[in-house]
Homo-oligomer: A and B are copies of this chain.
Amino acid sequence: MSSQRSPLAPQAFPDLPAIGGVTLRIARAGYKDWDRCDLTLATLSPDTAVAGVTTQSRCPSPEVEWCRKALVLGQARALVVNAGNANAFTGRHGREAVETITAAVAREIGCAPSDVFVASTGVIGVPLPTDKAEAGLAAAFSADPCGWEEAAATIMTTDTFAKAAHASAVVGGQRVELVGIVKGSGMIAPDMATMLGFIFTDAAVEAEFLQAALRSANAESFSCITVDSDTSTSDTVLAFATGAAGNRPLSSEDDDGADAFAAALADLCRQLAHLVVRDGEGASKFITVAVEGAESDASAHRIALSIANSPLVKTAIAGEDANWGRVVMAVGKAGEPAERDRLSIRFGATQVARDGLAVPDYDETPVAAHLKDAEVEIGVDLGLGDGRATVWTCDLTHGYIAINADYRS
């Protein structure tokens, strides 16, 4: 556990509205030997719709498998998040832990177990202790409700700051609010959803449309970030819509306000995704990689990820070194269409290479100045077509090594 707050963290936790129909509580299950709350319980009003996206890992946790099944029904009454133990790769024991948790919550609030969603995060390979989970749940149910900051802090593991964001929209004349909390700082690679994220809105939204809107928002946000190219076994983003705002339920993109809601959801997801990058393990720079001129958007996305995942690019940025040759290397290794002699590269607003070689009289001074900032942009133009994509990542520093050569226990 790193305790020093990321230098890229926002100054303060944001002011967030309550979301009608959502009640948050936290408790100490004691999944690890630590002095903090590690179980989060959100209870949701009846008729809450749910949507979700989960990891593409071939070795998902039983929580992910549970959520995938429950998502088919599209309704939710509760969410439980365990921090400190991912419960992944734990076989039958892991599945039993999920069943125990969902059954206990269902009993308490009088719903079906399939209305209860569960996510766990932490070390892989250790079955979640069901006795601690049950005691933690009992403590949570008897606790006073808490606010967003407490909940956002309770789902953290190696995170150095609590992450949340807010968006709003007007739907059929009715203002609706969306709040999301998220955790993640390592094992972050965008193969669908990445890390754990939970979004709550008081908008009335039918599950099918909520799913479509979340899938689309995810493609432009969580699927466009990477810290270390490693994909978690537990990645889950869930969106819950309680309907407390009283708008006429959104059921398709043609409905009045559907565009506004989808845009607000996309904005929220992008804010949350950026917060994850800002807490990337050891991060000292927030890096935007913008690729254009590729043969297709998908090709641009893969090239952008090749750059964003390159250890040599990430260490160069950490060293504030304008080593653009490493960007060439990362484009070249992406396996996507590229023509060396049409390739152009910029750092920030400064063109460093054009059409396959350094610009004439290249002056490194403005680039060196840009690289000293906490926010760095790498721009690549393939010169081939109209494909474009943007991804976000952080640099690779001694901090990443220090955190990951020691983390566990």
Residues on A close to B: CB < 8 A? 55-60, 86, 88-94, 123-127, 186-187, 189, 191, 228-233, 309-312, 315-316, 318-319, 321, 323-326, 328-341, 343, 353, 355-358, 396-398, 400-402, 404-408
A331–B408 touching, CB < 8 Å: no
Task: Tell me the complex Cα distance, A191–B355, Å.
Answer: 25
A59–B321 touching, CB < 8 Å: no
Which of B57, B59, B228, B329 is close to A232, meaning CB atoms less than 8 Å apart?
B329
What residues of B have a CB within 8 angstroms of the CB of A232 in the complex? 329
Q: Which 10 A-B pairs have the closest CB atoms?
A: A124-B325, A319-B405, A59-B332, A91-B357, A57-B332, A315-B404, A231-B333, A58-B338, A125-B325, A59-B340
What residues of B have a CB within 8 angstroms of the CB of A333 in the complex? 56-58, 189, 191, 230-231
Q: Known contacts A58-B338, A90-B357, A357-B89: does B405 contact A332 (CB below 8 Å)?
A: no
What residues of B have a CB within 8 angstroms of the CB of A124 in the complex? 323-326, 328-329
What residues of B have a CB within 8 angstroms of the CB of A332 in the complex? 55, 57-60, 231, 233
Task: Tell me the complex Cα distance, A92–B355, Å.
Answer: 11
Which of B56, B93, B228, B343 is close to A312, meaning CB atoms less than 8 Å apart?
B228
B233–A406 touching, CB < 8 Å: no
What residues of B have a CB within 8 angstroms of the CB of A402 in the complex? 398
**Copies in the assembly, this chain:** 2
Task: Tell me the complex Cα distance, A333–B357, Å.
Answer: 36
B315–A405 touching, CB < 8 Å: yes
Task: Tell me the complex Cα distance, A338–B126, Å.
Answer: 20
Task: Tell me the complex Cα distance, A297–B187, Å.
Answer: 27
A229–B315 touching, CB < 8 Å: no
B315–A59 touching, CB < 8 Å: no
B401–A328 touching, CB < 8 Å: no
A401–B397 touching, CB < 8 Å: yes
What residues of B have a CB within 8 angstroms of the CB of A335 in the complex? 56, 58
Q: What's the nearest-Cβ distance from chain B to residue A1, in Å?
A: 14
Which of B56, B353, B397 is close to A125, meaning CB atoms less than 8 Å apart?
B353
Which of B88, B312, B343 is close to A59, meaning CB atoms less than 8 Å apart?
B343
Task: Tell me the complex Cα distance, A333–B326, Å.
Answer: 25
What residues of B have a CB within 8 angstroms of the CB of A334 in the complex? 58
B91–A356 touching, CB < 8 Å: yes
Q: What's the nearest-Cβ distance from chain B to residue A30, in Å?
A: 20
Closest to A125 in B: B325
A355–B315 touching, CB < 8 Å: no
Task: Tell me the complex Cα distance, A59–B94, Å.
Answer: 47
A325–B230 touching, CB < 8 Å: no
What residues of B have a CB within 8 angstroms of the CB of A229 in the complex? 229, 309-311
- Beyond the given A58-B333, A231-B329, please list 7 additional residue pairs across the A-B interface where CB-CB is below 8 A: A58-B336, A58-B340, A90-B358, A124-B326, A124-B328, A125-B328, A398-B398
